[in-house]
Amino acid sequence: MTSEAVLVPRAEHNVSREDISPNALKVLYRLHGAGHQAYLVGGCVRDLLLGQHPKDFDVVTDATPEQIKALFRNCRLIGRRFRLAHIVFGREIIEVATFRGHHQIAESGSAQTSKQSEAGQLLRDNVFGTIEEDAERRDFTVNAMYYNIADYSIRDFAKGREAIAKRELELIGDPETRYREDPVRMLRAVRFAAKLDFNITQRAAQPIPELAELLSNVAPARLFEEVIKLFINGAGVKTFELMQKYHLFGQLFPQVQPLLENPQGKEYQFLQKVLINTDNRINSGLRVTPAFFYAAVMWYAVEERQQQHINEGGFNRHDAFIMAMNDVLHRQMQRIMIPKRFTTVIRDIWLLQHRLPKRFGKRAWVTLEHARFRAAYDFLVLRGEVEGGEIAEVGQWWTDFQEAGPAQRKKMLANLRGKDGKPTRRKRHYHNKNRDN
């Protein structure tokens, strides 16, 4: 990489202000008007050049976080590892970063500080610099392009346009050093390759399997956000294939990976179906909850753990299942911190897998009204497509039950009693009247 950027004038690129968020333009123009350099940078420039619509617009500037905050009343400063400014416009947030510099040990009393772990991971990174230094700090060559609001040109520091033409994902700098600085870059490499349909260059790909275990050093809360970006992005199937290829999936889901060794096994096939279903929903503009994905990933680990409790502890199936849910979630959250609002949904989906086959009397009506019924039903149907047998039959019954009218529903419930026999009621034991008096 050279510090001299290739300057691409407005007439020679396809990025138009009409395709840029109006709020991002407001930020750029205000920074520029205050005498600061202001650029769009990274994925949004890359996506605009690819003819795609970016989800986020990131801005970089020579203004410090404090100077940015002074310009915007709707600004909040965040981050310890690297200070960032978030400019809030209702539901849209424009992230503004100060140009990053190189990692030198700051002199005593300096505000610019950088700290690394023994493994080379950056723990603190408040080092500001020039646009040239900032470009060298970017992760991939396609992300080192800057759109200048001053003259609408693009500054390409690492042959990013050439990489786009070749559909290649190349890392800036020494791959092992860059992955050690931030192990999440390995996940980003896979995510971009899957999302953009790019190939990771041999140079960038070669160290990943060996360094994959460094992901254990990443904060569990940060990994939760990264997993959403990986699998809830419309390219989950391709992402999973690459995660397996580079031995990354097992670092995120260590309880699950041993169950995926056989691509023909139900565990692997079920996860594939869930990812296909998720991709189809996202690409059709439908809503997807991360809880469904997490529930699917861990389902067979819960079943396996349940069986262990039955075999080793002699517990009944219900108690063993409750214990297994707690065990699997606890272990998973040591690697990925899943917020309670999602673990609650995950538990409901799992518990309903045991309630859906129980349809006698009022149970079917109560289950149908459950807040998580639809997610649990979809989950059961996907299981049935893989497992067949009774699970598939129960899934089909619920499909028919939802489509049936009131009279037909009553008949379906009556047929269940006729087929399986009316469930026996527990005998009521009458005790001495004076016992509880």
Share of the chain above pLDDT 70, in %: 89
In a domain, 136, yes or no: yes
* Maximum mean pLDDT: which of 17-31, 78-92, 407-421: 17-31
Model-level pTM?
A: 0.85
Task: Identify the CATH number of the domain in which residue 112 sits.
Answer: 3.30.460.10
Per-residue pLDDT averaged across 324-339, rounded? 97
**CA separation (Å) from 389 to 97, 206, 260, 295, 357?**
55, 44, 22, 22, 12
Looking at this protein, which amino acid is placed at residue 329?
A: L
Among all residues, which ones are annotated catalytic? 56, 58, 139
Tokens representing 266 are 């139900």
Are 353 and 346 in contact, with CB atoms under 8 Å apart?
no
If pLDDT is split at 50, 70 and 90, which confidence band does 125 have?
low
The pLDDT value given to residue 418 = 62
Does residue 66 have a pLDDT over 90? yes
Of the pLDDT bands very low, low, confident and very high (cuts 50, 70, 90), residue 80 is confident
Q: Which of 33-42, 80-89, 295-304, 315-324 has the lowest mean pLDDT?
A: 80-89
Task: Note whether 146 and 155 are within 8 A (CB).
Answer: yes
Q: How confident is the model at residue 437 (pLDDT cuts 50, 70, 90)?
A: very low
pLDDT higher than 50, residue 212: yes
Decide: 288 and 295 in contact? Cβ < 8 Å. Answer: no
Overall domain count for the chain: 1
Instruction: Look at 27-31, 289-293, 420-424 and tell me which has the smallest mean pLDDT.
Output: 420-424
Structure-block tokens of residue 72: 């915007």
Tell me 398's DSSP state.
H
Tens of pLDDT along 227-262? 999 999 999 999 999 999 999 999 999 999 999 999
Dig out the tokens for 326 from the structure. 């707690």
pLDDT for residue 111: 44
Average pLDDT, integer, range 143-166? 96
Mean pLDDT of 114-126: 53
Q: Is a pLDDT exceeding 60 seen at residue 107?
A: no
The answer to whether residue 150 sits within a structural domain is yes
Predicted confidence band of residue 421 (pLDDT cuts 50, 70, 90): very low
378 in a structural domain: no
Segment 341-350 mean pLDDT: 97
The answer to whether residue 82 is domain-embedded is: yes
pLDDT at residue number 182: 94
Would residue 321 count as lying in a domain? no
Give a yes or no: residue 100 inside a domain. yes
**pLDDT above 50 (res 331):** yes
In a domain, 160, yes or no: yes
Domain of residue 61 covers 1-166
Does residue 325 surpass a pLDDT of 90? Answer: yes
